[in-house]
Structure 1
Amino acid sequence: MGSLAVMAGLTLNMVSPAMASPVMDFRSEDLLSVADGVKDDLHLNPNQQTLWRQLEGKSKTIINDKEKRQHDIQANMASGLSNPAIDLRQLSAAIDAEAAQSLQDGRQLRELWLTMNDALDDSQRQTARAFLADRLQRVDSASCERSSVVPKDKSSGKGRGKGMGGMGGGGSPMGGGS
């Protein structure tokens, strides 16, 4: 898969390590901020700049349409749930339809940015790959740091290790010690 397609398809919020997201936490809303992070480093020629602007415009349209649909669903859900006679399956169908449309939007965004990837030369593709590799490394580092933090048992101040069982980790359902 091309470097820009990875950015479009997997979109990482790459402003800083603290804001980085795992690969599968794709948010199409973050697409343009990710793309802006590498655009200047690519040193696009005039034709590539034109294509980039076109893709940005199409991407914004897709993202704005998705946000509007999701806002409308939210409003419809709130309205629907206020009706005591509503069948929850009706609401579920709307969510399923939006999920399917969102998947289609993601595919369309990836395809758009694959077009941009196709227009890059080898050096530009390598720049995009290096940018992504750096951001993925930040995500991996941030994930490792978060997973190495062991929560403290509030009652004893001791760290709760793995295998302590239950949500609270202690002997009581509320997480306190026995």
Structure 2
Amino acid sequence: MAAVAAPEAAMTARFLVRPDVFDRLVDRVAVEVAGGRDLAVRIVDQTLAFLAASARNPGVGLAPSRLVDIGWHVFVLDTREYAAFCDQVAGRFIHHVPNDAANEPVRQMDVRARTLAAITDAGYAVDMDLWPPTGTGRCGSCADEGNCSASGKDGDENQGSRIPR
């Protein structure tokens, strides 16, 4: 059995962005989800942790939960701050890559386990309530039946599963 860092040893990801950026993202997420500001704070923190883990693991095939995906959507729309964040944590842009192919529950569980391990390995705390056993991020506007993942090094993953334009 692999050793897992105690929750006290894990970091919050909120300090990966300036406090004003964090607060602005929280305010925007709070508009998108029921649950108020407290839930929005948790979503933004897990979004940043997910993105930092994705930066450390290009091409591994990590995906956000549905709630974390909402945080990612909000962040990516703030293009200047998002691009600066990506440059800081990854040295490259972390593309939001929709996967239009439907995913089987077993595959979703594998992706979830891989994603949570990557977040933990990066030293960040995992808020398990935001990562339910099934349901990786399904992008309503970008992929009704697929889920979103972070781009790898070249930003061209999931080419075979995208709906042609």
Q: TM-score range by the shorter chain?
A: under 0.3
**Structure showing greater relative contact order (alpha-carbon pairs closer than 8 Å, 6 or more residues apart):** 2
Compare the two structures and name the one with the higher strand fraction: 2
Report the TM-score, using the length of structure 1 for normalisation: 0.25
Report the TM-score, using the length of structure 2 for normalisation: 0.27
